[in-house]
A and B are shown apart, each in its own frame.
Chain A
Amino acid sequence: MTARVAIVIGFLAVAAAVIVAGAPRAETPAQRVERIAAELRCPVCQGLSVADSSSDTARAMRALIEERVAQGRTDDEVRDEFRRAYGEWIILSPPLLDARGAVWVLPVVALIAGAVVAWLRLGRTPPVAGSPSPEQLRALREREIAEEAVE
């Protein structure tokens, strides 16, 4: 019983902390700049984002984003401006609602299909003949621990 109470308390603590930490907060302009910069490719680097790169080009692009954010442009407007200048290539993550969205959908499909197959490979009852009682299972477990300890 005490074990059950401890588990409930632990779970509640995790859940509360996650909810508090995950609650949406108003973004500061600096955070917005950082987020937009992280999604743009630094055109002179090897696969780094504008946020990660300290190259002159990336710093100029970041300055431009800062300016646009200060002017009150939306995220899409800023992104579109770079898209017009450099092409679709400048965006580091493909859009979801598009033919390219497959790259988002496929991992989810693979996960679900894999989980379903795994679930089907599991039996509903223990595979040993006749269901062992909790006491038997516990004895089995104790023996395993003893065996493993001297393995």
Chain B
Amino acid sequence: MTFADVGGGALRAALALALWGLLASAYAARERDGRALQSARWSALAAFVLVVAASLSMAAALLAHDFTIRYVALNNALETPAYFSAISLWAALEGSILLWTTILAGAVAYVAWRGTREIPRLATTALAVMFAMLAFFLFLVVSPAADPFVRIDPAPLNGRGPNPLLQDHWLMGLHPPLLYLGYVLFSVPFAYAVASLILGEGGDRWIVATRRSALVAWALLGVGIVAGAWWSYAVLGWGGYWAWDPVENAAIMPWLVATAYLHSVMVEEKRRMLRTWNVALVIGAFALTILGTFLTRSGVVNSVHSFTQSAIGPLLLGYLAAVLAFSVGLLLWRAPRLADSGPVGVPLSREAVFLFQNVLFVAATLTVLLGTLYPLVVEAISGAQLSIGSPYFDRVEVPIALALLFLMGVGPQLPWHGASRATLERQFAAPVVVAGAGALLALAVGLRGAAAVLGYALAAFVVATVAQEVMRGVRARRTLHGETAAGAFVNLFRRSGRRYGGYVVHVGIALIALAVVSSQAQAAEAEATLAPGGSMQVAGRTIVFDGLRDVVDPQRTQVVADLRVLDGGTGAALAPALTYYPNATAGIGSPGIRSTAGDDVYAILAAYDARSRAWATLQVRVIPLVSWLWIGGAIVGLGAVIAALPPGRRHSSAVAAPSGTVASVT
């Protein structure tokens, strides 16, 4: 038996199980039949095991360089190092869809075993929805559209090797799985929301049941996006990290909508309001994950004309249309049961801030969507080609982002139900003063441009509001429970993780804002053609060029420029390179980066003397604070972990927590 036999067979068996599970769980939900549910549970688990087996056989085929499989022949070579062989699992379309299917099968098994024990009927209905999605993706991977195990005969002696850009950096092993986990886990809240609509539940049990999966999906997608930005920065060699490329836009759109959802859901929990809206947001976030896959996997973003080249495009588009028609139809049908009974709140209240925050996030998403699709629509209608890129997105999204930073500071300071003027003044005095200091600091470090200075002021504002809230919480715990300051600080995060974890996320976002402002506004650049021993100046730094050297690896050859940054006498080394892979015509530029907390020195080898290695053209950028972007991303992830962890042991008097977690699940 070959890897292809095992993998292909496992996927076909899993498809049969998914279809059976769909029938069994739908029957179980309708007839409240325990035996059918049990059968569906085992189908889910068996399907998951089979899909994992298929993924493992693909990974094994890649590691064993089994070129009888077309996917392996196209994305692997004998010389490919083991790590990059294994992660070639997601180097191209078929493998990516296989990874997606594997994660989805895991989510189905999770709902089958965990969810159905907590809220049997709702979760069983959700399970049927999940099985339907799984069946679609299994259909994709056994159909010619995305079958990863298609054979090639005769098998080539060596494969083509992975796309050069994908075998250049270890981050490639991290960024796609994180993104896919985030994408796929959104299907859990979506399935529960749809199940709730099908059952005609007026309540918000589905929100409580999927709180953690929504948060985890959001966090994984967010960290995956930052990891992608980091990869772009470390590999693509243009000194930037975000280009408003359609692939990036596809990832940020569901994240933006999910961020709106994570906040507006609190209005529903506290005030039983915005129920229709929350369902709509979950449907939107989920639909955008499919749209993103469609945009990036159908080839449509390069040109509408490449749309028909692969069968996957029309299939994904049909799936998206079916999902939207089904879920929006359900929502319209059930909307009367979900209508709000009165106004959401008064203008100066936390619920009002969440409402306006939602408007901004949705507008930001629509802008990205519009800018991404507009060239496609124009081309399809008139045949004219036009571009929409960074200048457009920056101009529209930066003001929205600044407004969101402002609300991010305001929201936690406003109480639910509204505030008196005296409260407002007390709450905002310190943060507004800190914002003023932040603005003056921005001027002092030489930032120019209203948006940049406002960005500093608002980031400082946000950090100040978080600090104030934490101090207030510590004080409250000390007086109420007689804890020490340190104990109260720790318990704040352990016992009220959702709230204070959220604040940690806010700090991470503020750091990202600072990093973006400084790296965009204050990067300095110089280019010079130097002979060995020559030096150049960038932003007060001296960079010395020591010479070129050739490095030959089995899978590639490199021309490396050895540079030193002279500051403080240490002479930190940089090694930008041009890398040549046998399957790429042009050299791939790999930047040399020296990161410190203050700035990065980022060097690119643009050209060199191919004959005698006597000179090299170097581009060097000094980019302030850019490493805080990755640190901010990690802090966002940390905050999400704090918020997602189950709270530590509670005081017996506080079992019936205000948010009603315990009460509404049982």
A interface residues (Cβ-Cβ under 8 A, vs B): 2-4, 6-7, 9-14, 16-22, 25, 38-39, 41, 46-49, 52-54, 56, 59, 87-94, 100, 103-104, 106-107, 110-111, 114-115, 117-119, 121-128, 134, 137-138, 140-141, 144-151
Contacts of A11 in B (CB 8 A): 432, 436
**Quick check: is B426 within 8 A (CB to CB) of the other chain?**
yes
The contact string, 1 if C-beta is below 8 Å from chain A, for chain B 425-450, is 11011111111110110110001111
Q: List 27 A-B contacts (CB under 8 A).
A: A4-B429, A11-B432, A13-B439, A14-B439, A14-B457, A16-B439, A17-B440, A17-B443, A22-B453, A38-B390, A47-B243, A48-B243, A59-B606, A92-B391, A100-B378, A103-B388, A106-B366, A110-B366, A110-B367, A118-B355, A118-B358, A126-B417, A140-B415, A141-B415, A145-B472, A145-B476, A150-B477
> Contact at B439–A54, with CB atoms within 8 Å?
no
Residues of chain A within 8 A (CB-CB) of B439 are 13-14, 16-18
Nearest chain A residue, comparing its CB with the CB of B403: A111
Report B174 CB to chain A, min CB distance, Å.
21
The reply to whether B454 and A18 contact each other, CB–CB distance below 8 Å, is yes
The CA-CA distance from A20 to B440 in the complex, in Å, is: 10
Q: Is the CB of A150 within 8 A of B390?
A: no
Given contacts A103-B374, A121-B343, contact A14 B436 (CB under 8 A): yes
Q: Which residues of B contact A12 (CB under 8 A)?
A: 436
B387 & A91 in contact (Cβ 8 Å cutoff) = yes
The yes or no answer to B654 lying at the interface (CB within 8 A) is: yes
Give the distance to chain A from B41, nearest Cβ to Cβ, in Å.
34
Question: A52 touching B239 by the CB < 8 A rule?
Answer: yes
Q: Are A88 and B389 closer than 8 Å at their CB atoms?
A: no
With A59-B606, A121-B343 as given contacts, are A148 and B496 in contact (CB-CB < 8 Å)?
A: yes
Interface residue from A10, A41, A89 paired with B435 (Cβ < 8 Å): A10
Cβ–Cβ contact B499 & A151, under 8 A = yes
A65 to B371, CA, bound (A): 27
Nearest Cβ on chain A to B602's Cβ, whole angstroms:
11
Flag if B430 contacts A150 (CB, 8 Å). no
Query: Interface 1/0s, chain B 652-666, versus A by CB < 8 A?
Result: 001001110000000
Task: Let me know if B453 and A94 touch, CB within 8 A.
Answer: no
Whether A48 lies near B417 (C-beta < 8 A) is: no
A114 engages B359 (CB within 8 Å): yes
Contact with A along B349-374 (1 / 0, CB 8 A): 00010011011101100110011001
Q: Which of A11, A19, A127 has the most chain B CB within a 10 Å cutoff?
A: A127
- In the bound complex, residues from chain B placing their C-beta under 8 Å from that of A90 are 387
The one of B423, B442, B499, B589 that contacts A17, using a Cβ cutoff of 8 Å: B442
Q: Are B443 and A21 in touch, CB under 8 angstroms?
A: yes
Taking CB atoms, residues of chain B closer than 8 Å to A16 are 439
Interchain CB contact under 8 A, B371 and A103: yes
B486 interface contact, C-beta 8 A = no
| B396/A13 in contact, CB under 8 A | no
Contact with A along B600-624 (1 / 0, CB 8 A): 0000101100000000000100000
Residue in B374, B384, B390, B428 whose Cβ sees the most chain A Cβ within 10 Å: B390
B432 engages A7 (CB within 8 Å): yes
Least CB distance, A96 to chain B, in whole angstroms = 10
Contact between A4 and B423, CB atoms less than 8 A apart: no
Cβ contacts under 8 Å, B450 to chain A: 18-19, 21-22
Chain B residues closer than 8 Å to A39, beta-carbon distance: 391
Complex Cα spacing A102 to B358, Å: 23
* Contact of A21 with B499 at beta-carbon distance under 8 Å, contacts A47-B244, A89-B387 already known: no
The 7 A-B residue pairs with the shortest CB-CB distance in the complex, in nearest-first order: A13-B436, A123-B343, A22-B450, A10-B432, A92-B389, A17-B439, A134-B420
Q: Are A93 and B426 in contact (CB under 8 A)?
A: no
Q: How far does the alpha carbon of A25 sit from the alpha carbon of B449 in the complex, in Å? A: 10
For B604, the chain A residues whose CB sits under 8 A away are 54
Alpha-carbon distance between A87 and B378 when the two chains are bound, in angstroms: 15
B481 to chain A, nearest CB (A): 7
Q: Find residues 307-358 in chain B having any chain A CB closer than 8 Å to their own CB.
A: 340, 342-347, 352, 355-356, 358
B501 to chain A, nearest CB (A): 12
Give chain B residues whose Cβ lies under 8 Å from the Cβ of A107. Answer: 363, 366-367, 370, 396
B395 to chain A minimum Cβ distance, whole angstroms, is: 7
Q: How many pairs of residues, A versus B, come closer than 8 Å at their CB atoms?
A: 241
Instruction: List 6 additional contacts besides A93-B388, A100-B378, A123-B344; criterion CB under 8 Å.
Output: A6-B430, A7-B433, A14-B432, A54-B589, A104-B396, A126-B418
The residue from B243, B422, B443 contacting A138, defined by CB atoms under 8 A apart: B422
Among B442-479, those with CB < 8 Å from A are: 442-443, 447-450, 452-454, 457, 472-473, 476-477
In the complex, the answer to whether B355 meets A150 with C-beta atoms within 8 Å is no
- Report chain A residues within 8 Å CB of B436: 9-14, 17
Instruction: Give the Cβ gap from B361 to chain A, nearest Cβ, in Å.
Output: 10
- Chain A nearest CB from B249 CB (Å) reads 10
User: Taking the nearest CB of chain B, how far is it from the CB of A15, in angstroms?
Assistant: 8
Q: Roughly how many angstroms separate A103 CA and B386 CA in the complex, as a whole number? A: 12
Across the interface, name the chain B residue whose C-beta is closest to A12. B436
Q: Quick one: which of B387, B425, B452, B619 contacts A3, CB cutoff 8 A?
A: B425
Q: Is the CB of B430 within 8 A of A123?
A: no
* Docked-complex contact B359 and A38, CB < 8 angstroms: no
A46 to B422, CA, bound (A): 54
| Closest B residue to A142 using CB positions | B476
Within the assembled complex, what's the spacing in Å between the Cα atoms of A117 and B344? Answer: 12
Chain A residues, Cβ within 8 Å of B434: 10
B359 touches A134 (CB 8 A): no
Q: How far is the CB of B211 from chain A (nearest CB, A)?
A: 14
Q: Which listed residue (A4, A20, A91, A141) contacts B425, Cβ 8 A?
A: A4
Q: Contacts of A54 on B, CB cut-off 8 Å?
A: 237-238, 589, 604, 606, 619
In the assembly, what is the distance between CA of A9 and CA of B425, in Å?
13
Instruction: Assess whether A146 is in contact with B447, with CB atoms less than 8 Å apart.
Output: no
Is B422 within 8 A of A144, CB to CB? Answer: no
**B344 near A121: Cβ-Cβ < 8 Å:** yes
Contact partners of A59 in chain B: CB under 8 A: 606
Whether the Cβ atoms of A121 and B355 lie closer than 8 Å is yes
Q: In the bound complex, how far is the Cα of B428 from the Cα of A144, in angstroms? A: 18
Smallest Cβ-Cβ distance to B378: which chain A residue: A100
Q: Closest approach, in angstroms, between the C-beta of A124 and any C-beta of chain B? A: 7
B164 is an interface residue with CB less than 8 A from chain A: no
Inter-chain contact B417/A18, CB cutoff 8 Å: no
Which of A11, A126, A149 has the most C-beta atoms of chain B within 10 angstroms of its own C-beta? A149
Q: Are the CB atoms of A17 and B658 closer together than 8 Å?
A: no
Q: How far does the alpha carbon of A38 sit from the alpha carbon of B238 in the complex, in Å?
A: 13
C-alpha spacing A129/B238, complex, angstroms: 60
| Set of chain B residues within 8 Å of A100, measured between Cβ atoms | 374, 378, 386
Nearest A residue (CB) for B619: A54
Contact call B448/A134, Cβ cutoff below 8 A: no
Q: A49-B390, A92-B387, A144-B416 are in contact. Are A149 and B473 (CB under 8 A)?
A: yes
Contact B495 A151 (CB under 8 A): yes
B177 adjacent to chain A (CB < 8 Å): no
A103 to B376, CA, bound (A): 13
What is the chain A residue whose CB lies nearest that of B421?
A: A134
Of A89, A118, A150, most buried by chain B (CB within 10 Å of CB) is: A150
Q: Which of B246, B447, B473, B477 contacts A47 (CB 8 A)?
A: B246
B422 surroundings in chain A (CB, below 8 A): 134, 138
B419 within 8 A of A: yes
B492 touches A125 (CB 8 A): no
The reply to whether A127 and B437 form a contact with Cβ atoms under 8 Å apart is no
List of A residues within 8 angstroms of B170 by Cβ: none
